[in-house]
Amino acid sequence: MSILVAGTTGAIAQHLIESLPREHGPLVAAGLEPPPSHLARKDVQYVRTDLRDQEEAQRLFEYHQPTQVFHLAVQGSVRTGEQEPEEALLGNVSIARNVLEACKRHCPGARILLQSSSEVYGRGPTSRGAEIPRSETDPLAPLSTTGASLACAEILAGQYSQGHGLRILVVRPFNVVGPGLSPHLLAGEIAWQLARIRLDKGEPVVYTGDLEVKRDYLDVRDLVRAYLLLMEKGESGQTYNVCSGKSISARQVAELLVQFHGGSVELRFDPRRERSTEIPIMVGSAEKLTLATGWLPAIPLRESLRDLWNDMLHRHALDKKGNPC
């Protein structure tokens, strides 16, 4: 058995690579940049590859011919997608197409997990309340460029699954929190601002977007555990939500992080951080995932945010010493 992870940076890729069983080698991780040396696993081969380039993707899969592929090389930040819409749309679609085409040619029997996002649901069906959890049978109705690009990637996955017989399953993670989270995501950005206030003795103000929106938050380590179970037990051609099934407001997330910071900090609204088209509430159902694998979330949100806060403090301290992580 050989495993290839498309994507080397970001919390999900880092935790997945760390969690892959040692006995399931060789392990290969491919992306634009390798992770910092202190986060790199010694028994993983890191390959610098631009998967937007079709020829590079073909060479990668022809050489390694993996039996399992985790496709995590997606641009999932909604704000980044709004700032760089062409990169988000064309990048996500072209990478998905290149990975799937390379699998078709060089490892057609591989198990493929393709990461999408809850962003594909948009506001959900108009025939029912938004507070009802999204299920995998709900229509794709994305409002963001990021969501639209990943919906296109899902359509490609269906094409390669039904038309070419590839063994693909699609996963739709909801909002991820925990150590390693990007500062481009809401909880990560708030934790990053708080770390700067603590270490740089800056003005005790955290700038945020709309904190009244409600989201379904899941620890990245629980997410990775779901991915590993799905690779083993999930059904090819199927789509699975990965979520907690509960929604809380962004304000509650921010206030918990401020508690961990331990100081008096003002949360100040910044319209530049607000989405152009907001989704007031997003919550999912993981019933299908649980029935298929027995998975249930195990890490409480408070623990996830505490670990995020401690990790962000550590990362910012390293940045100050000139050792970016």
The per-residue pLDDT for 78 is 67
- Picking from 39, 156, 62, the residue whose alpha carbon sits closest to that of residue 108 is 62
Q: For every one of its 325 residues, what pLDDT tens digit does the chain have, with 9 covering 90 and above?
A: 799 999 988 899 999 999 998 776 689 999 998 888 888 888 999 999 999 999 999 999 999 999 999 999 987 566 665 667 677 777 899 999 999 999 999 999 999 999 999 999 998 876 666 688 999 999 999 998 999 999 999 999 999 999 999 999 999 999 999 999 999 899 999 999 999 999 888 899 999 999 999 999 999 999 999 999 999 999 999 999 999 999 999 999 999 999 999 978 999 999 888 777 788 999 999 999 999 999 999 999 999 999 999 999 998 888 767 665 5
- What predicted TM-score, i.e. pTM, was given to this entire model? 0.94
CATH says 3-174+219-242 is which class? alpha beta
Q: How far apart are CA 242 and CA 224, in angstroms?
A: 10
The per-residue pLDDT for 88 is 73
Comma-separated ranges of CATH 3.40.50.720 domains in the chain? 3-174+219-242
CATH says 186-215+247-284+296-320 is which class? alpha beta
The per-residue pLDDT for 76 is 57
- Picking from 9, 11, 6, the residue whose alpha carbon sits closest to that of residue 223 is 11
The per-residue pLDDT for 324 is 57
The per-residue pLDDT for 200 is 86
The per-residue pLDDT for 197 is 93
Quickly list DSSP for 222-252: HHHHHHHHHHHHPPTT-EEEE--S--EEHHH
Pairing type for strands 167-173 and 111-115 reads parallel
